[in-house]
């Protein structure tokens, strides 16, 4: 199939546009997290934004490689405009990532596969896996906010300062790092 006539071309354009907006949104949320004093979470969100730009770059290169006509690609699609507040957007972002990872990108991959664009299908599939991991990470953090256990757990945790590396095994994280004096927002949230 000719790329110019394919649905894959539209999927590629939609994926690129969506991921660029995801990346912008994560930068906004990261800034909110920083303003609220959640430095470690801000870094995590910034990392997701950086990953999104890497995905966008791969999709952009694929479009340049395949779209020999080099024309404008007109697309119509719905994109989310969610709150930029960190606490509420962790949950909604997790839902968006899950939808992308479970539905949208596998659907795009199937279209590309059926039309014979295996390299694009593989890229969509790999991106969907990252989206699902993002969804889990964001859902985990949202849950910690919801039940108030971000820095205070029922069990012993290893708390580590993301600034200086100081570490302690306790139920509760420190208010101020005993070594570098950086505030609680720099504490690495331990994964379960
Ligand atoms: Fe520290």
Cα(39) to centroid of ligand 1, in Å? 12
Q: What is the pLDDT of residue 191?
A: 84
Cβ–Cβ under 8 Å, residues 15 and 127: yes
Q: How many other CB atoms are found less than 10 A from the CB of residue 154?
A: 7
Cα(104) to centroid of ligand 1, in Å? 41
Cβ–Cβ under 8 Å, residues 186 and 40: yes
Q: What is the pLDDT of residue 192?
A: 65
In tens digits, the chain (192 residues) has pLDDT values of 899 999 999 999 999 999 999 999 999 999 999 999 999 999 999 999 999 999 999 999 999 999 888 788 888 888 888 887 888 899 999 999 999 999 999 999 999 999 999 999 999 999 999 999 999 999 999 999 899 999 998 889 999 999 999 999 999 999 999 999 999 999 999 986
User: What are the structural domain ranges in the chain?
Assistant: 3-146, 152-188
Distance, CA of 118 to CA of 120 (rounded, Å): 5
- Where does 152-188 sit in CATH, by number? 2.20.28.10
Cα(188) to centroid of ligand 1, in Å? 10
Cα(54) to centroid of ligand 1, in Å? 30
Q: Is 178 helix (H, G, I), strand (E, B) or coil?
A: coil
Cα(192) to centroid of ligand 1, in Å? 22
3-146 matches 152-188 in fold: no
Q: What is the pLDDT of residue 76?
A: 87
Cα(141) to centroid of ligand 1, in Å? 21
- Where does 3-146 sit in CATH, by number? 1.20.1260.10
Selection from 88, 40, 70, 3 nearest residue 187 by Cα: 40
Cα(180) to centroid of ligand 1, in Å? 4
Q: What is the pLDDT of residue 138?
A: 96
Q: What is the pLDDT of residue 47?
A: 97
Q: What is the pLDDT of residue 40?
A: 96
Distance, CA of 52 to CA of 23 (rounded, Å): 5
């Amino acid at each position: 199939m000719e790329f110019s006539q394919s649905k894959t071309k539209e999927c590629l354009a939609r994926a690129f546009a969506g991921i660029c907006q995801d990346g912008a949104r994560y930068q906004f949320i990261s800034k909110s997290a920083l303003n609220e004093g959640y430095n470690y979470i801000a870094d995590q969100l910034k990392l997701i934004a950086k990953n999104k730009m890497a995905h966008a770059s791969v999709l952009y290169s694929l479009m340049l490689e395949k779209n020999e006509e080099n024309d404008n690609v007109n697309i119509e699609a719905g994109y989310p405009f969610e709150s930029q507040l960190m606490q509420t957007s962790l949950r909604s972002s997790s839902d968006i990532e899950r939808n992308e990872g479970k539905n949208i990108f596998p659907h795009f991959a199937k279209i590309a596969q059926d039309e014979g664009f295996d390299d694009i299908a593989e890229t969509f599939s790999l991106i969907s896996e990252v989206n699902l991991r993002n969804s889990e990470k964001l859902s985990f953090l949202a849950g910690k906010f919801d039940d108030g256990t971000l820095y205070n757990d029922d069990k012993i945790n290893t708390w580590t300062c993301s600034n200086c590396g100081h570490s302690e095994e306790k139920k509760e994280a420190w208010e101020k790092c005993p070594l570098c004096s950086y505030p609680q927002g720099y504490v690495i949230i331990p994964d379960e």
